[in-house]
Structure 1
Amino acid sequence: MRHPADSMAWKSFDELHESFALEPRNVRLGLASDGFQPFGDSRKSYSIWPVVLIPYNLPPWMCMKQSNFILSMLISGPESPGDAIDIYLQPLIKELKELWEVGVETFDASTRQNFQLHAALLWTINDFPAYGNLSGWSTKGKLACPCCNKNTFSIRLTNGSKQCYMGHRRYLPSKHKWRNDKYSFDGTKERGYAPKLFSGDEILEQVQDLEGVILTKAANKRVKISHSNRGDNWNKKSIFFELSYWKTLLLRHNLDLMHIEKNIFDNIHGTLMNIKGKTKDTMKSRLDLQAMNIRPELHPLRKGDKFVLPVASYMLSPNEKHTFCLFLKQLRVPDGFSSNISHCINLKEHKISGLKSHDCHIMLQRLLPLALRGLLPKEVYEPLIELCLFFTVVGSKTLKADDLDQIEAQIPITLCKLERIFPPSFFDIMLHLPIHLANEAKIGGPSQYRSMYSIERYLYTLKGFICNRACPEGSIAEGHIANECMTFCSRYLHGIETKFNRHERNYDGRDNTSVEGLSIFSQLGKALGAGTIYDLDANKLEQAQLYI
């Protein structure tokens, strides 16, 4: 799978709606929304929510470009809309219903004829908190997983006062030996099975009684819904169910790979390095181990008036921390591979700070397995590497069904291995969500079309439009319209530099000439500072090739 058109979701939609699929010019859309703080001063509370439509009827190299995004609306601040986002989405849903049922007359430049264009919404793209706002399922509490629904398994930690999600033995084969090993896990034997995914009709039955609930953030008008009495985490019936085809979709809302990777890397990094405030291995975590009567070698030891925490196998010693940081400090990567991670390393204090989401993505998938070699015991190192390989496969630009089947079978084993090592507080909801990522990849296709990377970059572009702090939404609207006009006009401007014909960032200033031999040597170099161009003769060129 290289494009959403290769996915099960796309093909299933074509089978269910044949008349729509017969016209290849009909448009498939993705909807993305997230809030951002428009000012440089992060202390000022303000949240703007753009709603962006992404057309998927484009080849992979054009599909996620900002020039093809459709900014359908801006939900103004100063507060986020929360579950009341449905109120603001009403005009958009009305237009989507019209595009599905009636269509709009459109001119086809290739045939020079008009035709009736229809459009359908395939799914939404959002981070995990926004997932709750758009879907109506609260992503907090003991039933935080929207995929497991009301069958989510979690434990309330006595001392940590948080929910932990450790029930991954349910996904193992029924006769697996770990199901009876209660002392290595949470102190209980596992008799349950993996929860099934609910269909659109089943979800509609669950939320039928929530239709017409007043959606507002005003405390005196908001209807309080008791999740404990209902037995689920629904707050509302999503407005997307007004679309007649919404319940037939295999994948309605996407789990965002970008934020999941970042949160998991922060958990691993904070715990291995024992960073105060970020580590999951605290006194409360050890007391929870004691309360669950598991892993006695990690229980706190009383020495006089104080408690001492035994050193865990997953903690790096000061020398190992120095080796880990030194590896990253001396790291050199290809241009454009990541930011300069060495700038984020403090060798003196053994700290890593300032990593962006993409840096965490690179660290988790590529660098962490190399940096930790020889620093941790095999029983700790092995599941961490398996987790890194899982994200490498599921985040690939090209997906293979066999690979997805393999990692889907492996990820429960990997998470169970981690459960045998790390404390229960380590397993927040983000450590549970990978159990569903492989299945979503099989349904929706490659993650780059369903993650927040492109959207977050677009939000940064919108933030740059703000010139008047008193009217941030107006500034964004004017800047967006001006940018759209320039983008449209630049498609028809020839002979001048535009965003569609300008040279790449590393353009060397002269035409590329063919060079015999390996294709890598046909890429021209550029001097740093004042330099002169020198062409190698055949003998020196051969020497350079042999040396490389």
Structure 2
Amino acid sequence: MKIDACKNDCMLYWKDDNCLQSCKVCGASRWKDAKHNGETKLKKGKKIPCKILRYFPLKPRLQRLFMCSKTSHLMSWHHDKRVDDGIMRHPADSMAWKKFDEPHPSFAAEPRNVRLGLASDGFQPFGMSRTPYSIWPVVLVPYNLPPWLCMKQENFILSMLIPGPNGPGDAIDVYLQPLIEELNELWETGVETFDASTRKNFKLHASLLWTINDFPTYANLSGWSTKGKLACPCCNKKTCSTRLKNDQKECYMCHRRYLPLNHKWRNDKVSFDNTVEHRLPPEMLSGDDILDQVADLDGLPLTKDPRKKIKISHKKRGDNWNKKSIFFDLPYWKTLLLRHNLDVMHIEKNICDNILGTILDIKGKTKDTLSTRLDLQEMNIRKELHPIQNGDEYELPAASYTLSVEEKQKKFNFLKILKVPDGFSSNISQCVNLKDKKISGLKSHDCHIILQHLLPLAMRGMLCKSVSEPLIEFSIFFKVLGAKCLSIEELEQIEAQIPKTLCKLEKVFPLAFFDVMVHLSIHLPNEARIGGPVQYRWIYPIERYLHFLKCFIGNMAHPEGSIVEGYLAVECMTLCSRYLNTIKTKFNCPERNYDGGVIESDGGLTIFCEPGKSLKGNSPDKLDSHDLEEAHFYILKNCDEIQPFLE
């Protein structure tokens, strides 16, 4: 469905407004004008709209999941075959899923009713071009499917394509109107659907569980600005931050408030910021609490026209709300325990960049600068790090978290010669510049690997205990948080440990290190306890899907149209290929690397029964003695049949 939109993102020309020729908010013309004569552009006798929203109706796509015999029986996996043993492996094991069923028993009574996650992000469609352009797909994830299928690209549902050249910002609510209306219809009346597994019709309903987004998009979807002194949406009005006068940045510390009331660090003024901490951690707000805060923003016009846009003073309001989110139009939205997810992927990347940049003293990335040292002097804390003035220049005393020249060289050499298994990460060694002592070009997954697996090895024996201990604890924290299976006991342990880890870092690291992304890590265990494993709630699969959509662009003059044509073709081929069992398709071809599951042994060791694709064709490759020894050790460590002999 093509729906015209105002060029200032004020409104959609649909339903009762379908016949309007100009925007009823800002007055801008609906049609494009020629640059030279100012007349309305025409193409084959038709006027050209300024913007077109491409909307893909949701109902037929949900119906297709049940009408297809290859997927219909899987849509009730969470009810029929899921094991409920207290371990969270799927969103259906989470508190958010189970608590949603309590006030809505009629919805929960039919296990085939679909639970959805909504993800959105923008991307540049023109590769490395400097042309500013941003397309925003909105993707829906059906969580009824089993864990090994629900986050696969072929099961994602592209809901709409918000056109460029600029991102929608807070006005994304304008474009979400058709989707919210259809979700309301699916919730209240449902749609008649044929189930191929039972050969019967039933009334299908659907609900939206949460949104998946990075931190800037969090602000667009929720309405809470993620900038300034109240940037943390979880702490809300009780966000604790300090403005650094010299560094001109907000610093988010004060993590002692999350410690037990009798903890000795609450009264330790010297090691922290010369204050005693008596405050309690902020309480989690309910949907009704949020509605009370945004009651005066209901009906606020969302537009990019500076003449019509209403400026909101966060200082006068005492909060960071920019709007009332359109998701509250869903009758069940305020009852959800977790509405918007913090993205673990970007939090890991930012923390990893902060750690590597500061410890290795990488120019432009380190948080230990003259401005930060002057801020320490301004606050009269950590006097041993105060800059020493020699004439017009300053000398910075060595800190406990910095490495010597020889130690930094060892660290860069370690990363330069690093080799990892295929598919474990990208080639990190290509990101290391030994000449300039820099690390650049690390992807999010590279930072994920460095933080969880390589950081403890790299820091071992080079830094003092006061620095290495909290960094290793950070590594363990994200390793436990990112596990495929989560237990409540482990989440409670890391939730109790992360405030102590952050407090240890506050004792030694510079103030600028503690940006909002470092602070957000303290809320991640609680979100995992509510929402389940992070693999279903982070942006990794969505980012890969955006690259998949980007590959459809063949006509640079019409990138949105190219994506739509390519997506519809792939959607049709995906449905057909599910039935082509005797032909090699993307559903039955072996993956490049084995992704788990049951291995059927052919009589030999199970480690040699894993399916996969060869990397160098069919030509044999003879291993040298060193590689042969490494392969031998790998088999000894990873083969199940050999494990009893190693105990």
1:503-546 deviation line (CA, Å, top 9, x unaligned): 23369xxx997244x42244599695774699xxxxxxxxx799
1:331-387 deviation line (CA, Å, top 9, x unaligned): 222221111212222233332222111110011011111111111111000001101
1:425-465 deviation line (CA, Å, top 9, x unaligned): 11110010011000000000000100000000000001111
Distance in 1 between residues matched to 2:556 and 2:183, nearest whole Å:
33
Farther off after superposition, 105-114 or 122-131:
105-114
Letter in 1 for 2:149: M
Aligned residue runs from structure 1 range 74-223, under 5 A: 74-223=161-310
Distance in 1 between residues matched to 2:458 and 2:367, nearest whole Å:
21
In the alignment, is residue 263 of structure 1 matched against residue 355 of structure 2?
no
1:460-480 deviation line (CA, Å, top 9, x unaligned): 001111011110100110110
Using the TM superposition, give the Cα deviation of residue 221 of structure 1 relative to its aligned residue in structure 2, in angstroms. Answer: 1.0
Distance in 2 between residues matched to 1:466 and 1:528, nearest whole Å:
30
Instruction: Determine what percentage of the aligned residue pairs are the same residue.
Output: 70
* Match in the other structure for 1:450: 537
In the alignment, is residue 369 of structure 1 matched against residue 456 of structure 2?
yes
Asked whether the 8 Å contact 1:257–1:447 carries over to 2, the reply is: yes
Distance in 1 between residues matched to 2:579 and 2:210, nearest whole Å:
33
Aligned residue runs from structure 1 range 300-339, under 5 A: 300-339=387-426
1:117-170 deviation line (CA, Å, top 9, x unaligned): 000000000000000000000000110000000010001111111110011010
Letter in 2 for 1:468: N
Using the TM superposition, give the Cα deviation of residue 186 of structure 1 relative to its aligned residue in structure 2, in angstroms. Answer: 1.9
Farther off after superposition, 88-97 or 155-164:
155-164
* Match in the other structure for 2:332: 245
Distance in 2 between residues matched to 1:14 and 1:129, nearest whole Å:
31
Letter in 1 for 2:132: S
Using the TM superposition, give the Cα deviation of residue 41 of structure 1 relative to its aligned residue in structure 2, in angstroms. Answer: 2.9
Distance in 2 between residues matched to 1:533 and 1:223, nearest whole Å:
67
* Match in the other structure for 2:371: 284
Asked whether the 8 Å contact 1:183–1:293 carries over to 2, the reply is: no
In the alignment, is residue 35 of structure 1 matched against residue 122 of structure 2?
yes
1:490 to 561, 565, 577: 577
1:422 to 509, 514, 524: 509
1:469 to 550, 553, 556: 556
Letter in 2 for 1:211: D
Letter in 1 for 2:405: P
1:478 to 543, 550, 565: 565
Letter in 2 for 1:462: L
Asked whether the 8 Å contact 1:155–1:164 carries over to 2, the reply is: yes
* Match in the other structure for 2:602: 514
Asked whether the 8 Å contact 1:143–1:153 carries over to 2, the reply is: yes
Residues 512 and 410 of structure 1: is their aligned pair in 2 closer, same or farther, counting only changes over 3 Å?
closer
Using the TM superposition, give the Cα deviation of residue 317 of structure 1 relative to its aligned residue in structure 2, in angstroms. Answer: 1.5
Q: Show structure 1 runs of 5+ residues with no match.
A: 535-543
1:273 to 360, 371, 375: 360
Asked whether the 8 Å contact 2:431–2:440 carries over to 1, the reply is: yes
Asked whether the 8 Å contact 1:27–1:118 carries over to 2, the reply is: yes
Distance in 1 between residues matched to 2:447 and 2:486, nearest whole Å:
21
Using the TM superposition, give the Cα deviation of residue 111 of structure 1 relative to its aligned residue in structure 2, in angstroms. Answer: 1.4
Distance in 2 between residues matched to 1:441 and 1:129, nearest whole Å:
20
Residues 545 and 96 of structure 1: is their aligned pair in 2 closer, same or farther, counting only changes over 3 Å?
closer
Distance in 2 between residues matched to 1:262 and 1:527, nearest whole Å:
29
In the alignment, is residue 8 of structure 1 matched against residue 101 of structure 2?
no
Using the TM superposition, give the Cα deviation of residue 308 of structure 1 relative to its aligned residue in structure 2, in angstroms. Answer: 0.5
When the two structures are superposed, what TM-score results if normalisation uses the length of structure 2? Answer: 0.80
The alignment partner of 1:233 has SS state of coil
In the alignment, is residue 299 of structure 1 matched against residue 386 of structure 2?
yes
Letter in 1 for 2:370: M
Aligned residue runs from structure 1 range 427-442, under 5 A: 427-442=514-529
Letter in 2 for 1:216: T
* Match in the other structure for 1:59: 146
Asked whether the 8 Å contact 1:383–1:418 carries over to 2, the reply is: yes
Distance in 1 between residues matched to 2:465 and 2:633, nearest whole Å:
40
Distance in 1 between residues matched to 2:131 and 2:280, nearest whole Å:
47
Distance in 2 between residues matched to 1:21 and 1:519, nearest whole Å:
41
**Which contiguous aligned blocks of 4+ residues in structure 1 show a shift greater than 3 angstroms?**
521-534, 544-548
Letter in 1 for 2:511: P
The alignment partner of 1:502 has SS state of coil
Q: Show structure 2 runs of 5+ residues with no match.
A: 1-87, 623-631, 637-647
* Match in the other structure for 1:540: none
1:484-521 deviation line (CA, Å, top 9, x unaligned): 111111112232211111123369xxx997244x4224
Asked whether the 8 Å contact 2:370–2:387 carries over to 1, the reply is: yes
Using the TM superposition, give the Cα deviation of residue 304 of structure 1 relative to its aligned residue in structure 2, in angstroms. Answer: 2.8
* Match in the other structure for 2:24: none
The alignment partner of 1:442 has SS state of helix
Distance in 1 between residues matched to 2:161 and 2:459, nearest whole Å:
44
Asked whether the 8 Å contact 1:52–1:69 carries over to 2, the reply is: yes
CA RMSD of aligned residues (A): 2.0
The alignment partner of 2:207 has SS state of strand
The alignment partner of 1:274 has SS state of coil
Letter in 2 for 1:43: R
Residues 530 and 481 of structure 1: is their aligned pair in 2 closer, same or farther, counting only changes over 3 Å?
closer
Distance in 1 between residues matched to 2:326 and 2:183, nearest whole Å:
12
Distance in 1 between residues matched to 2:412 and 2:173, nearest whole Å:
46
Residues 501 and 417 of structure 1: is their aligned pair in 2 closer, same or farther, counting only changes over 3 Å?
same
Farther off after superposition, 295-304 or 245-254:
295-304
Using the TM superposition, give the Cα deviation of residue 319 of structure 1 relative to its aligned residue in structure 2, in angstroms. Answer: 1.1
Distance in 1 between residues matched to 2:129 and 2:217, nearest whole Å:
20
Distance in 2 between residues matched to 1:546 and 1:327, nearest whole Å:
21
Letter in 1 for 2:479: T
* Match in the other structure for 1:224: 311
Residues 545 and 46 of structure 1: is their aligned pair in 2 closer, same or farther, counting only changes over 3 Å?
closer
Letter in 2 for 1:81: P
Residues 348 and 533 of structure 1: is their aligned pair in 2 closer, same or farther, counting only changes over 3 Å?
closer
Distance in 2 between residues matched to 1:292 and 1:462, nearest whole Å:
50
The alignment partner of 1:433 has SS state of helix
1:459 to 546, 552, 562: 546
Using the TM superposition, give the Cα deviation of residue 174 of structure 1 relative to its aligned residue in structure 2, in angstroms. Answer: 1.2
Letter in 2 for 1:15: E
Letter in 1 for 2:602: S
In the alignment, is residue 70 of structure 1 matched against residue 157 of structure 2?
yes
